[in-house]
């Protein structure tokens, strides 16, 4: 399938980067080190470390995926709109999840209960969807890789930080603050974040496949 081919192509590009492997090993080592430094290691402590580290790991992974897709624009321009939209969103989502795998492995090695990890997955995957759908939006305009990555970081880092200082802009923060659902993985936070991620993904798909955009968009 063409969509799966885009996923595989982006993941292969990421896995070829020594920097990605360095980040992955650093994340794994950090989780194990933090667990070893606790006076009384516990599964609860491992879960806390998992949720605390998955947001930056997912953000870094999506950033790498965004760079790969931006540099491959000459190839993707020949793909039809719907295939490209699904391929970009899926590739960005998987790129974020790939950088979170070392944290999951580290939590398991730190004696975290698999059941507790399973209960954390909805929050982690929802945060990944928010990051991926935000990154997919900045792929729509014809911009340089540096500008695209800068806009992505501004949206998912600066906007939540600025909105946190003014309650009037709190609804806007919900669309880009992927870390909120990891800081408070409750249903009251999870469901609005999931709705925001789906909304952003749908908006990106419609903009990519709209009548004004052809295969060369």
Look at the block and give the residue holding tokens 């402590």.
45
In this prediction, residues 35-48 reach a mean pLDDT of 59
Confidence of residue 39 (pLDDT cuts 50, 70, 90): low
Q: Please, is 52 exposed, middle or buried when counting C-beta atoms within 10 Å of its C-beta (0-12, 13-18, 19+)?
A: middle
Neighbours of 94 (CB within 10 A): 19
**Is the model's pLDDT at 121 over the cut of 60?**
yes
Q: What is the pLDDT of residues 132-162, one digit of tens each?
A: 999 999 999 889 999 999 999 999 988 888 7
Residue-averaged pLDDT of the chain: 85
Residue 119 to residue 110: CA distance in whole angstroms: 17
Q: Which two tokens stand for residue 94?
A: 């998987």
Better-scored residue on pLDDT, 172 or 93: 93
Domains of the chain by residue range = 2-209
- 145-155 as b/e: b if 16+ CB within 10 A: eeebbebbbeb
Q: Evaluate the CA torsion angle 101, 103, 109, 113 in order and state its sign.
A: negative
Lowest mean pLDDT, pick from 19-23, 63-67, 177-181: 177-181
DSSP 123-151: HHHHHHHHHHHHHHHHTSS---HHHHHHH
Lowest mean pLDDT, pick from 16-30, 139-153, 159-173: 159-173
Report CA 200 to chain centroid distance, whole Å. Answer: 13
- Considering only CA atoms, which of 8, 51, 31 is closest in space to residue 109? 31
Q: What is the pLDDT of residues 47-92, one digit of tens each?
A: 666 777 899 999 999 999 999 999 988 788 888 889 999 999 999 9
Q: Which two tokens stand for residue 167?
A: 């309650």
Angle at 120 between CA 20 and CA 19, to 5 degrees: 5
Predicted TM-score of the model (pTM): 0.88
Contact 90, 62 (CB under 8 A): no
Question: What is the share, in percent, of the chain residues with pLDDT greater than 70?
Answer: 86
User: What is residue 159's predicted lDDT score, i.e. its pLDDT?
Assistant: 84
Question: What is the share, in percent, of the chain residues with pLDDT greater than 90?
Answer: 48
Q: What is the pLDDT of residues 180-195, one digit of tens each?
A: 888 887 888 889 889 9
- 173-201 as b/e: b if 16+ CB within 10 A: bbbbbbbbbbeebeeebbebbbebbeebb
């Amino acid at each position: 399938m063409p969509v799966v081919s885009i996923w595989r192509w982006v993941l292969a590009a990421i896995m070829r980067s020594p920097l990605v492997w360095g980040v992955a090993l650093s994340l794994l080592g950090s989780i194990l080190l933090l667990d070893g430094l606790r006076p009384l290691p516990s599964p609860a402590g491992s879960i806390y470390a998992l949720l605390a580290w998955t947001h930056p790991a997912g953000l870094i992974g999506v950033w790498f995926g965004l760079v790969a897709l931006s540099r491959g624009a000459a190839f993707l321009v020949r793909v039809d709109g719907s295939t490209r939209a699904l391929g970009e969103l899926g590739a960005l989502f998987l790129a974020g999840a790939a950088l979170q795998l070392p944290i999951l492995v580290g939590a398991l090695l730190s004696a975290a209960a698999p059941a507790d990890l399973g209960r954390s997955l909805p929050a982690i995957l929802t945060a990944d969807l928010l990051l991926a759908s935000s990154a997919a939006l900045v792929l729509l305009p014809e911009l340089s890789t540096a500008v695209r990555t800068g806009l992505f970081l501004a949206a998912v880092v600066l906007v939540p930080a600025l909105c946190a200082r003014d309650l009037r802009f709190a609804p806007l923060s919900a669309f880009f603050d992927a870390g909120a659902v990891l800081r408070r993985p409750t249903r009251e936070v999870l469901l609005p974040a999931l709705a925001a991620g789906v909304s952003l993904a749908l908006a990106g798909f419609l903009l990519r496949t709209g009548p004004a955009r052809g295969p060369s968009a």
